[in-house]
Structure 1
Amino acid sequence: MRFQMFASTLLILLFFSNSNFGINFTIVTGQSEKDLLLELKNHLIYDSSLSTKLVQWNETTGYCQWSGVKCDNKSRVSSLDLSSESISGGINDSSSLFRFVHLQSLNLAQNSFDSIELPLGFGKLAELRYLNLSNSGFTGQIPLDFSDLTRLVVLDLSSRFYSSLNLENPNLEKLIHNFTRLRELYLDGVNISAKGYDWCNAISSSLPNLRVLSLSNSYLTGSFNSSLLKLHSLSIIRLDGNTFSAPFPVFFADFPNLRVLTLSSCDLFGMVPEKLFQIKSLQTIDLSNNRELEGSLPHEFPLNGSLQNLLLSYTNFSGYVSESIGSLRMLSNFDLRACVFSGQIPSSIKNLTHLVYLDLSVNQFLGSVPSFALLKYLTVLNLRRNNLTGRVPNSLWEGLENLNFLDLSENSLEGEIPASLFVLPSLKVLYLSNNNFYGSIGDSRSSSSPLEVLDLRVNNFEGPIPRFLFELQNLSSLSLSSNKFSGSIELTDFQKLTNLVNLDLSYNNLSVHVREKVSLSSLFPRLGTLLLASCKLRKVPLLTNQSSLMMLDLSDNQIDGEIPNWIWEAGSGYLRFVNLSHNQFNRFDLRRPVYFDLLDLSSNNFSSSLPANIGNFLKPIVFLSIANNKITGTIPPSLCNPSRLQTLDLSNNSLHGKIPSCLLQSTHIRVLNLGGNNLSGDIPDAFPIGCGLESLDFSWNVLQGNFPKSLTRCTEIEVLNLSHNVLSGRIPASIGNIQKLESLDLSFNGLSGEIPKQTFPESSFLGNEGLCGSPLNKTCSGVISNKFYGLVGS
Structure 2
Amino acid sequence: MEISQLSRLVTLNLSNLFMLTELKIQNLGKFVRNFTSIRPLYLDSVTISSAGLEWHAALLQIPTLQELSMAEYNLSGPLLSSLTRLENLSVIRLDRNNFSSAVPETFANFRNLTSLSLVFSELIGMFPPKIFQITSLSVIDISHNYNLHGFFPEFPLNGSLQKLLVSETSLYDLSSNNSTGSIQTLGMCKKLQSMILFDNSFSGAIPSDIFEDLVNLSDISLHNNFFTGMIPSFIFTLPSVHQVYLSNNEFEGQLHNFSNAFSPIQWLDLSGNHLEGSIPISLFQLTNLHELKLSFNKFSGTIELNMLSKLGNLTTLDISYNNLTLIDASTLMTPFPLLPMLSSVRLASCKLTSFPQFLKNHSLMDIDLSNNHIVGTIPQWIWKSKFLNYINLSCNYLTDWEEPIFNNLSSLTTLDFHSNILHGPLPTLPESIIYLDFSSNNLTSVISSKIGKYLEWTLFLSFASNNLNGNIPESICSAPNLEVLDLSNNSLTGTIPKCLIAMNGTLSVLDLGRNKLNGTIDFLPGSCSLRTLHLNGNALQGKLPKYLASCTMLEILDVGENQLHGHFPCWLKNISTVRILILRSNELHGSLICGGTKVLWPHLQIFDLASNNFGGRIPLSFFEHWKAIIADEYNGSLSEPDHLQLEIFKYNPVYYQDKVAVTYKQLQMELVKILTIFTAIDLSCNKFEGLIPEGLGQLNALYILNLSNNVFSGPIPSSLGNLKELESLDLANNNLSGKIPTEITELSFLSFLNLSYNHLVGRIPTGTQVQSFPADSFKGNDGLCGPPLSQNCSGDGMQGTPSPASNSNVDAKSSS
TM-score, with length taken from structure 1: 0.75
1:478 maps to: 367
- Whether 2:507 is the aligned partner of 1:621: answer yes
- Write the distance in 2 (CA, Å) between the matches of 1:673 and 1:512: 34
Alignment of 1:20-39 (within 5 A): none
2:543 maps to: 658
Alignment of 1:46-125 (within 5 A): 99=1, 121-125=2-6
- Whether 2:313 is the aligned partner of 1:397: answer no
- Write the distance in 2 (CA, Å) between the matches of 1:433 and 1:770: 54
Three-state SS of the structure 2 residue aligned to 1:720 is strand
Percent identity over the alignment is 25
Over 3 Å counting, the alpha-carbon distance change for 1:729 and 1:146 in structure 2 is: same
Letter in 2 for 1:436: N
- Write the distance in 1 (CA, Å) between the matches of 2:707 and 2:486: 33
Shift of 1:561: 2.9
- Write the distance in 2 (CA, Å) between the matches of 1:241 and 1:763: 47
- Write the distance in 2 (CA, Å) between the matches of 1:340 and 1:692: 32
Shift of 1:618: 6.7
Choose the corresponding residue for 2:386, options 478, 498, 507. Answer: 498
Three-state SS of the structure 2 residue aligned to 1:624 is strand
Question: Is the CA contact (8 Å cut-off) linking 2:321 and 2:350 kept in structure 1?
Answer: no
- Whether 2:321 is the aligned partner of 1:434: answer yes
Three-state SS of the structure 2 residue aligned to 1:565 is coil
Shift of 1:249: 0.8
Shift of 1:675: 0.9
Choose the corresponding residue for 2:440, options 556, 574, 582. Answer: 556
1:30 maps to: none
- Whether 2:239 is the aligned partner of 1:368: answer no
Q: Mean alpha-carbon deviation: is it higher for 260-269 or for 768-777? A: 768-777
1:250 maps to: 129
- Write the distance in 1 (CA, Å) between the matches of 2:389 and 2:614: 52
Over 3 Å counting, the alpha-carbon distance change for 1:314 and 1:557 in structure 2 is: same
Three-state SS of the structure 2 residue aligned to 1:663 is helix
Shift of 1:498: 2.1
Q: How many residues align?
A: 648
Shift of 1:326: 2.7
1:735 maps to: 623
Three-state SS of the structure 2 residue aligned to 1:563 is coil
Question: Is the CA contact (8 Å cut-off) linking 2:542 and 2:564 kept in structure 1?
Answer: yes
Shift of 1:688: 4.2
Deviation string 1:475-521 (CA, Å, 9 cap, x unpaired) is 1111111122223334x232422211111111112223254xx462x
Letter in 2 for 1:407: K
- Whether 2:445 is the aligned partner of 1:577: answer no
Deviation string 1:684-722 (CA, Å, 9 cap, x unpaired) is 432242443211111112222222536723332110100
1:260 maps to: 139
2:344 maps to: 453
Shift of 1:648: 1.1
Question: Is the CA contact (8 Å cut-off) linking 1:506 and 1:535 kept in structure 2?
Answer: yes
Shift of 1:422: 5.8
Over 3 Å counting, the alpha-carbon distance change for 1:607 and 1:495 in structure 2 is: closer
Over 3 Å counting, the alpha-carbon distance change for 1:199 and 1:603 in structure 2 is: same
- Whether 2:54 is the aligned partner of 1:170: answer yes
Q: Mean alpha-carbon deviation: is it higher for 667-676 or for 227-236? A: 227-236
Question: Is the CA contact (8 Å cut-off) linking 1:173 and 1:203 kept in structure 2?
Answer: no
Question: Is the CA contact (8 Å cut-off) linking 2:216 and 2:240 kept in structure 1?
Answer: yes
Deviation string 1:613-659 (CA, Å, 9 cap, x unpaired) is 55466753211111111222222244x75511121111111222322
Alignment of 1:373-772 (within 5 A): 373-374=260-261, 376-401=263-288, 403-417=289-303, 419=305, 420-421=307-308, 423-441=310-328, 443=330, 444=334, 446-457=337-348, 459-473=349-363, 475-490=364-379, 492-515=380-403, 518=404, 520=406, 522-540=407-425, 542-543=427-428, 546-571=430-455, 573-592=456-475, 593-595=477-479, 596-615=482-501, 620-638=506-524, 641=526, 643-664=528-549, 666-709=551-594, 712-733=599-620, 734-735=622-623, 737-741=625-629, 742-757=679-694, 758-759=696-697, 764-772=706-714
Shift of 1:227: 3.7
- Write the distance in 2 (CA, Å) between the matches of 1:762 and 1:203: 63
Over 3 Å counting, the alpha-carbon distance change for 1:393 and 1:253 in structure 2 is: closer
1:347 maps to: 233
Question: Is the CA contact (8 Å cut-off) linking 1:667 and 1:688 kept in structure 2?
Answer: no
2:66 maps to: 183
- Write the distance in 1 (CA, Å) between the matches of 2:401 and 2:539: 34
Over 3 Å counting, the alpha-carbon distance change for 1:200 and 1:476 in structure 2 is: same
Question: Is the CA contact (8 Å cut-off) linking 2:511 and 2:533 kept in structure 1?
Answer: yes
Shift of 1:671: 0.8
2:32 maps to: 146
- Write the distance in 1 (CA, Å) between the matches of 2:376 and 2:461: 26
Shift of 1:749: 0.4
Shift of 1:432: 2.3
Letter in 2 for 1:434: Y
- Write the distance in 1 (CA, Å) between the matches of 2:101 and 2:548: 47
Shift of 1:387: 1.3
Deviation string 1:217-243 (CA, Å, 9 cap, x unpaired) is 344353344444443322222222222
Q: Mean alpha-carbon deviation: is it higher for 411-420 or for 652-661? A: 411-420
- Write the distance in 2 (CA, Å) between the matches of 1:719 and 1:607: 29
- Write the distance in 1 (CA, Å) between the matches of 2:265 and 2:3: 46
Over 3 Å counting, the alpha-carbon distance change for 1:434 and 1:279 in structure 2 is: farther
Choose the corresponding residue for 1:280, options 141, 154, 159. Answer: 159
Shift of 1:680: 2.5
Question: Is the CA contact (8 Å cut-off) linking 2:365 and 2:385 kept in structure 1?
Answer: yes
Over 3 Å counting, the alpha-carbon distance change for 1:284 and 1:646 in structure 2 is: same
Shift of 1:682: 2.4
Three-state SS of the structure 1 residue aligned to 2:160 is coil
Letter in 2 for 1:398: Q
2:647 maps to: none
Shift of 1:780: 7.9
Question: Is the CA contact (8 Å cut-off) linking 1:506 and 1:533 kept in structure 2?
Answer: yes
Letter in 2 for 1:767: N
- Write the distance in 2 (CA, Å) between the matches of 1:415 and 1:762: 43
1:778 maps to: 736
Over 3 Å counting, the alpha-carbon distance change for 1:213 and 1:448 in structure 2 is: closer
Deviation string 1:718-748 (CA, Å, 9 cap, x unpaired) is 1010011121111133337444231000011
Letter in 2 for 1:155: L
Shift of 1:336: 1.0
Three-state SS of the structure 1 residue aligned to 2:71 is coil
- Write the distance in 1 (CA, Å) between the matches of 2:17 and 2:79: 28
Over 3 Å counting, the alpha-carbon distance change for 1:383 and 1:147 in structure 2 is: farther
Question: Is the CA contact (8 Å cut-off) linking 1:392 and 1:418 kept in structure 2?
Answer: no
Letter in 1 for 2:737: T
- Write the distance in 2 (CA, Å) between the matches of 1:762 and 1:554: 34
Over 3 Å counting, the alpha-carbon distance change for 1:622 and 1:708 in structure 2 is: farther
- Write the distance in 2 (CA, Å) between the matches of 1:552 and 1:302: 49
Shift of 1:216: 2.5
Q: Mean alpha-carbon deviation: is it higher for 252-261 or for 693-702? A: 252-261
Deviation string 1:125-149 (CA, Å, 9 cap, x unpaired) is 2222233445576755894223321
- Write the distance in 2 (CA, Å) between the matches of 1:298 and 1:762: 46
Letter in 2 for 1:327: D
- Write the distance in 2 (CA, Å) between the matches of 1:588 and 1:736: 43
Three-state SS of the structure 2 residue aligned to 1:389 is strand
Question: Is the CA contact (8 Å cut-off) linking 2:287 and 2:311 kept in structure 1?
Answer: yes
- Write the distance in 2 (CA, Å) between the matches of 1:146 and 1:442: 74
